[in-house]
Amino acid sequence: MKLSTAFVLTVSLGLSCAFARAQPNSDKKITIDPVAENMLAFQRNIGGWPKAVGKVIVNYDKLLTEQERKLIRADSMRNDATIDNKATTREIKYLANAFKVTGNARYHAAAQKGIDFLLEAQYDNGGWPQFYPDRSAYRGQITYNDNAMINVLNILQDIVEGKNNFDQFAAYRSKAQLSVNKGVACILKTQISVNGQLTVWCAQYDEHTLKPAKARAFELISLSGMESVGITELLMRIKNPSKEIQIAVKSAVAWFERSKIQDYAFEFVDAPTLPRGKDRLLVKKPGSVIWARFYDIDTNEPFFSGRNSIKVKTVAEIEHERRIGYAWYGTWPKNLLQKKYPLWLQKLNAG
CA distance 251 to 240: 18
Single out the residue of 216, 231, 222 nearest to residue 292, CA to CA.
222
CA distance 49 to 93: 13
3-class DSSP state of 315: helix
Cβ partners under 8 Å of residue 68, min gap 6 = none
Query: Residue 292's beta-bridge partner residues?
Result: 329
Q: Which residues are catalytic?
A: 85, 216
Cβ partners under 8 Å of residue 100, min gap 6 = 165, 168
CA distance 42 to 44: 6
Residue 72 CA: distances (Å) to CA of 42, 44, 68, 134, 291: 6, 10, 6, 19, 41
Contact in structure between 45 and 80 (CB atoms under 8 Å) = no
What's the CA angle centered on 27, arms 26 and 30, to 5 degrees?
125
**Amino acid, res. 262:** Q
CA distance 274 to 291: 26
Q: Is 277 left (phi over 0), alpha (psi -120 to 50) or beta?
A: left
Query: Residue 267's beta-bridge partner residues?
Result: 281
Query: Residue 311's beta-bridge partner residues?
Result: 305
CA distance 33 to 29: 12
Rounded (10°) CA dihedral 236, 112, 146, 280: -120
